[in-house]
Amino acid sequence: MTARHTGDTPRTRGATADHGGDRAVTSSAPAGSGSPAAAPGASRTAAGPARSTGADIPAGGTDEPAAPDEQPAADGAPSTGHPLRCLVTGASGYIGGRLVPELLRAGHRVRCLARSPERLRDQDWADSAAVVRGDVTDPDSTAEAMRDIDVAYYLVHALGSGDSFEETDRRAARNFADRAHAAGVRRIVYLGGLTPEGVPERDLSPHLRSRAEVGRIFLEGPVQATVLRAAVIIGSGSASFEMLRYLTERLPVMITPSWVSTRTQPVAVRDVLRYLVGSADMPPEVNRGFDIGGPDVVTYAEMMQRYAAVARLPRRVILPVPVLTPRLSSHWIGVVTPVPPTIARPLTESLRHEVVCREHDITDHVPDPPGAPIGIDRALTLALRRVRDADVATRWSSASVPGAPSDPLPTDPDWSGGSLYTDRRTQRVDASPEALWRVIEGIGGDNGWYSFPLAWAVRGGLDRLMGGVGLRRGRRDAQRLRVGDTLDFWRVEEIEPGRLLRLRAEMRLPGLAWLELRADTAEPDGQSAGDASPGTGATEYSQRALFHPHGLLGHLYWWSISPFHAVVFGGMARNIARAAEHRARNEEATEQSRTTQATAVGVDRG
């Protein structure tokens, strides 16, 4: 038995059958259950069976818009000339949701392990990747997901899951490594955090310490591992970028904690994805960690000034003070930005120490193409362009919020004997179902909730004070929704285009709550439903708020707010109906104007 190195120096192992040392990977397997990418037991969701990757499925997707002088994220990564079978965990999260299309575009075949596969069904790449239900802490589902896999990406962590999150991370990583070894996986790729040099691990923040421990578990495990360590990741929708953006835009003068003077080495999400994709093809003897970062080493204060310059804002006045602890800082950030304290605190704690790359050895295996790695100014410009174009692929809020409920709406009306309070509203709408649906799908974010804005603002503020997400998460896209999207303090649980939108509450509540909005064709007086047309009043809007209380406090909560339902939910139903009617009239007037103009042009030509 050869000696094992636990540091970051390369470790060599002999190729064995367990790791599939010389196993050829071909693209001849047909799509479907016979494809290696479609593991037996692939889950069936509400949208139908999980999709399997076929060898001939075209790949696509990129992080930021490719300018003429730059290449997409995966370009520059070495290729073995044949597709690898990749397992991606965390595909509903910020990095995982962007990695999947990059792997597909590089020619690899992808399977995703997800606790809620239905949340991935509306992704642009859903038809090109297999999805199986499971959890990295569960040995059986992890083992099933690992079947016939070459490279396994570990992109999950137990951030904010309680005092025992370090033990959860530890148990999940060990289970992942053991199941990968048993399945003959060749390599594990893990994205962790960059740790400060010379600082004992015990002095790191709990979250950064846990990230470091997970990386060490993989490097000391039975499967070759690539551990990438990044500091601040700059990309549209990332928590780090959103925190930076809102702080800089909203506060021309800032009294800041001392950590704004700490140096860090940010990296563009485009480069992170390129390194992740390239890591799949590393030589079999490589087993080590790599620091990844951009070319600029800056303080957080300098990053804010750089953002202000890119966004064409006046230079910010920054006044550091030593009295703001990471805990106080996280609450301050929670007030100013959409990032809740549960997410902001580990971000600020990681900025207490200087985190600068000690090496750039990753280029030995994943060479940087011309123009890479991307500098901070260009990374900020690309991210801001995506935000302004409302074209953000994934956001920090794509992953589940710590402590948020995850139970789906019950199909049993009695909830196995439990209570389920319901508030129902219906409204006849003098507009087409299509016009009504466009209003429903556009709800939330800048469009608001169509009733009593002060009540919604107060509820969002109270949620923020209790450590919740509040109303500031907004929307990923101003017009379109998909399953898994966050919508202020809701999350899209189900969407049937043109008909149904179901939202699950992620605010702090003594129970579970849902809100359903539905557009249906109604039968008008003296007319069959099939004859319905815009302007006939043949559309019905229905709205249902449901609440499953937890204990006495839950029941008291419902009854204390029920007197306001007529104002909030009743007003919401009426105003949504009016908005749809207004939209229908505007669209009809626009169409009539176009017809008149076209007729006039025809007469002139005649």
| Closest by CA position to 507, among listed 340, 301, 303 | 340
Query: Span 21-36, mean pLDDT?
Result: 31
The confidence score (pLDDT) of residue 563 equals: 87
Low-confidence winner among 24-38, 365-379, 427-441 (lowest mean pLDDT): 24-38
Query: Do you find a cis peptide bond into 408, omega within 30 degrees of 0?
Result: no
The confidence score (pLDDT) of residue 129 equals: 94
Q: In 3D, which of 292, 383, 371, 290 has the Cα closest to residue 76?
A: 371
Mean pLDDT of 17-32: 30
With bands split at pLDDT 50, 70 and 90, how would you rate the model's confidence at 25?
very low
Digit-coded pLDDT (tens) for 206-224: 888 888 999 999 999 999 9
Average pLDDT over all residues of the chain: 76
Q: pLDDT at residue 174 above 90?
A: yes
Query: Which tops the pLDDT comparison, 592 or 343?
Result: 592
The pLDDT tens digits of the residues spanning 314-332 come to: 999 988 877 656 666 666 6
Q: Quick: pLDDT tens for 255-271.
A: 887 778 889 999 999 99
Q: How far apart are CA 465 and CA 459, in angstroms?
A: 10
93-118 confidence digits (pLDDT tens): 889 999 999 999 999 999 999 988 88
For residue range 339-356, list pLDDT tens digits in order.
666 666 666 676 778 889
Count CB atoms within 10 A of the CB of residue 483: 22
Q: Among 24-38, 129-143, 492-506, whose mean pLDDT is lowest?
A: 24-38
Report all structural domains of the chain as residue ranges with CATH numbers, in order of start: 31-398 (3.40.50.720), 415-591 (3.30.530.20)
Mean pLDDT of 299-307: 92
Report the candidate in 387, 493, 469, 473 with the shortest Cα–Cα distance to residue 92.
493
**Closest among 53, 179, 65 to 125, alpha carbons compared:** 53
- Residue 292's φ and ψ, nearest 5 degrees, are -125, 135
Nearest to 298 by CA among 269, 266, 272: 266
Give the pLDDT of residue 566: 84
- SS3 at position 601: helix
Question: How large a percentage of the chain has pLDDT more than 70?
Answer: 72
pLDDT the model gives residue 326: 60
pLDDT for residue 198 is more than 60:
yes
Query: 250: how many CB neighbours lie within 10 A of its CB?
Result: 11
Which tens digit of pLDDT belongs to each residue from 268-285? 999 999 999 999 999 999
C-alpha span between 212 and 8 (Å, rounded): 12
**Residue 49, pLDDT above cutoff 60:** no
Which region among 129-138, 406-415, 575-584 has the lowest average model confidence (pLDDT)? 406-415
Average pLDDT on 59-70 reads: 35
How far is it, in rounded angstroms, from Cα 272 to Cα 280? 13
What is the model's pLDDT at position 2? 35
The H or E element that residue 110 is part of is strand 109-114
* 3-state SS class at 153: strand
Pick from 361-370, 439-448, 553-562 the range whose average pLDDT is largest. 361-370
Rounded to an integer, the average pLDDT of 402-426 is 58
Max mean pLDDT range (75-79, 189-193, 502-506, 588-592): 189-193
Cβ contacts of 526 within 8 Å, gap of 6 or more: none
- Choice between 2 and 185, residue whose per-residue pLDDT is larger: 185
Instruction: List all residues 6 or more positions away from 492 whose beta carbon is below 8 Å from its beta carbon.
Output: 481, 482, 483, 484, 485, 486, 501, 502, 503
The average pLDDT across 117-130 equals 87
Strands 85-89 and 48-49 turn out to be unpaired
pLDDT of the residue at 42:
37
Measured between alpha carbons, how far is 469 from 507 in angstroms, rounded to an integer? 6
Backbone dihedral angles phi then psi of residue 579, each to the nearest 5 degrees:
-65, -40
User: Mean pLDDT, to the nearest integer, of 545-554?
Assistant: 84
pLDDT tens, position by position, 420-475: 888 999 999 999 999 999 999 999 888 888 888 887 778 877 777 776 777 667 78
**Which pLDDT does position 603 carry in this prediction?**
54
Residue type, 40: P
Q: Which residues on adjacent β-strands are paired with residue 189?
A: 153, 226
pLDDT of residue 62: 37
Q: Which two tokens stand for residue 561?
A: 């707010």
To the question of pTM greater than 0.75 for the whole model, the response is: no
Residue type for position 92: S
Q: What is the mean pLDDT of residues 159-182?
A: 83
